[in-house]
Each structure stands twice: as structure tokens, then as C-alpha cells.
Amino acid sequence: MSAVVDDLWRLRSMTSADLPQVLDIEQVSYDFPWKRGIFEDCLNMGYACQVLTEGTSAIRGYGLMSAAVGEAHLLNLCVAPICRRSGMARYLLGHLIEQARQRDAYIMFLEVRPSNRAALMLYRKEGFTEIGRRKGYYPTLNGREDAIVLSRDIE
């Protein structure tokens, strides 16, 4: 399924053929990026894996979400650095929330680094609230960083 955001953006399901571009974005976005195998596992498990393209085929962002027994978990949401602050992340998030709803989820969870202020601001604007912390969840260049656990009811 493909959704048109505007004349240039298109949202569609991720495929294995997309992984080189997805991994390029992942590498430049994180100090500790996901490896190819994690993306492959998500695809093989049937998770909601979406890519946002601009123009004919350039992938500019992606999102992955699992959903089971009424709960959804946003696993990864990332937009290429050159496209940040464009609305792409908000659009991807909204689409994944809708997919969670279609999969009969009533709540969505996610973890985010406290140092990722832009992501925190986006999630809070989209109705997510803090429900806890996972101590030392994320690796950093100098040790470990907590994760803020957020949730949002899905109407």
C-alpha cells in the first residue's frame, strides 16, 4: 500500500531491497545503529515497517512497529538528517498509530533517549506521556543512558 503525502512524498511498506538506503540513514543518525539483521527480523515477523520516499525512490525516513494483544510498540522512527523538521517524522508516526489501530491496539509504547529532545517534543505533541524509565537502557560513547518510556492511548 502506498499513500501520497504531497506531490513528492510517498509512504509504502519497507522491503528487503530498501535496506541499503535505510541502513545508510540509520548509520548517520545514531552512534549505535541497528544492524541489518534487526531490520530483517522485523520484516520477517510481519511488523509494520514503512519507508517514506521523496521523488522517485530516495528513502528519507522509516518507521517500524510491532503490535500484539492490544498493544503496539514503536521500535524505530527515523528521518534522514537533511529532512528533519519537515513534518516527515510526524507523518510517519501518525501512519504507524493508524496501523496500530487497524491491528486492534488500544495503546502504543515507545522508548526514547532523554538527550533526544526533538523526538521527545514530537512524541509529547502527539499525545505521548511518560510512564517510566529504563535505567541504563541505551549505550552511549561514555557509558549508558536511561530510556524514557512513553505511552499513548489509541482511540
Active-site positions read 111, 123
Maximum pairwise Cα distance, the chain? 44
Which residues does residue 32 pair with via DSSP β-bridges, in sequence order?
A: none
Residue that has been written with the C-alpha cell 507523518 in this structure: 91
Amino acid at 22: V
Pull the grid cell for residue 123. Answer: 512524541
**All residues at 6 or more sequence positions from 7 whose CB lies less than 8 Å from its CB, including other chains:** none
What's the DSSP call for residue 83?
Answer: G
Query: Distance (Å, rounded) from C-alpha 60 to C-alpha 43?
Result: 18
Query: Distance (Å, rounded) from C-alpha 106 to C-alpha 69?
Result: 9
